[in-house]
Structure 1
Amino acid sequence: MSRFITAVAAIGVLGLGACAQDERAEPQEGTPPPAQVQVASPDTTASALWAHVEQAGYRTTWPLWPGKAKLYKGTEPHGMLLTTYLNSVALDAVTNKAGRMPAGAVVVKENYMPDSTLAAITIMYKSPGYNPDFGNWFFVKRLASGTVEASGRVPGCQGCHASQAANDYLFTGSISQ
């Protein structure tokens, strides 16, 4: 929550500064471009991240990982059938073969049993400075019942995903050229 409050305060300060500028003034040579303001991201807690993806309506508004349909063949530990959704910044990184996911990227993987019953939802969220030894990824495993089984710097997640460090810790598909 503190990151959200800080982001809102920064936006307010930037907004006040913009009001004080003379709109007719020409930019001076050598003046850097105006600062880019990013959309607030969730805190690195399982509840904040879940609220973020639910509020975004990930199942209806986020695209699937390019080249993957719903209920594609998976493997343990995630399940025999998987559906993987990406927020817009993650999709841009995959589509453009950026090599690394940018800050704010969210990957939601629905994990299904062989009979297509939802077993769990796993989420990877790229948060700058959160977990530098593992690509700044925050991991969450939420059971179908809603119980959070694991979150944060989860040793099992980190250990497995470490084998994909060259692909920004992602298994689903290549994000490099």
Structure 2
Amino acid sequence: MKKRWMLAAVAVWVVIGIGVVNAMKPEPNPDKLWRYITEGSPYDTWGFWGDHIGLQPGAAPHGPFHKVYVNKRGLDSMRAPAHYGTLIVKNNYGDEMGTDLKAVTVMYKVKGYNPEAGDWFWVKYTPEGKAEKFGSPQGCIDCHASMVDSDYIMVHSFGGEDEEE
């Protein structure tokens, strides 16, 4: 009898834990997403992909230099497509010192959001966090579609396929 109660208690804690984790995921909403990546889980504390560390040369339309931060969900994605919940945040700089921040662009993998374009929710923010473009901007999709085999990710190549979660 005691074992049943212990198993039931563990099951309840697991369900509560899953609920808390799911509640922490931001909605595909630019204002809520900005608060999440700047306050809830500050993106500048996340990691870099091993093949794209720190300040790197960039290209139009993002600017001549950038840093790309990836949350744990994305870093744990070993193959394309990236796991749902992956967040990729790119600081776009106008100088090689990484001091002239021009924009912050985000890719957020949301199950069922936009299956035709890898389920990515896209946002371009000003440095202050005002969303200039968001959702499924055709310009973002058209450019990133050249990397569909890498799940629309331009700066990191996964290789094979992985099952989506």
SS of equivalent residue, structure 2 residue 145? helix
Instruction: Identify which of 69, 75, 90 aligns with 1:85.
Output: 69
Q: CA deviation at 1:69?
A: 2.9
1:162 corresponding residue in structure 2: 145
**Residue type of the alignment partner of 1:57:** P
1:131 aligns with 2:94: no
- Following superposition, which runs of at least 4 residues in structure 1 exceed 3 angstroms of deviation? none
Q: For residues 76 and 101 of structure 1, what CA distance do their matches in structure 2 show?
A: 24
Instruction: Identify which of 28, 50, 57 aligns with 1:66.
Output: 50
Q: CA deviation at 1:22?
A: 2.9
* CA offset digits 1:123-172 (Å, max 9, x no partner): 00000000000000000000124321100011111111111111100100
Q: CA RMSD in A?
A: 2.0
Q: For residues 18 and 7 of structure 2, what CA distance do their matches in structure 1 show?
A: 22
* CA offset digits 1:44-100 (Å, max 9, x no partner): 1111111111121211x201222323221011111100100000010111xx3x221
1:57 corresponding residue in structure 2: 42
TM-score calculated relative to the size of structure 2: 0.80
Aligned CA distance change for structure 1 residues 24 and 166 (closer, same or farther; 3 Å): closer
Q: For residues 134 and 114 of structure 1, what CA distance do their matches in structure 2 show?
A: 31
2:11 corresponding residue in structure 1: none
2:102 corresponding residue in structure 1: 119
Alignment gaps of 5+ in structure 1: 1-20, 26-33
1:7 corresponding residue in structure 2: none
Q: For residues 52 and 7 of structure 2, what CA distance do their matches in structure 1 show?
A: 50
Q: CA deviation at 1:24?
A: 5.7
2:85 corresponding residue in structure 1: 104
Alignment gaps of 5+ in structure 2: 9-13, 161-165
Aligned-pair identity (%): 34
Aligned CA distance change for structure 1 residues 112 and 24 (closer, same or farther; 3 Å): closer
Aligned residues: 145
**Larger-Rg structure:** 1
TM-score calculated relative to the size of structure 1: 0.75
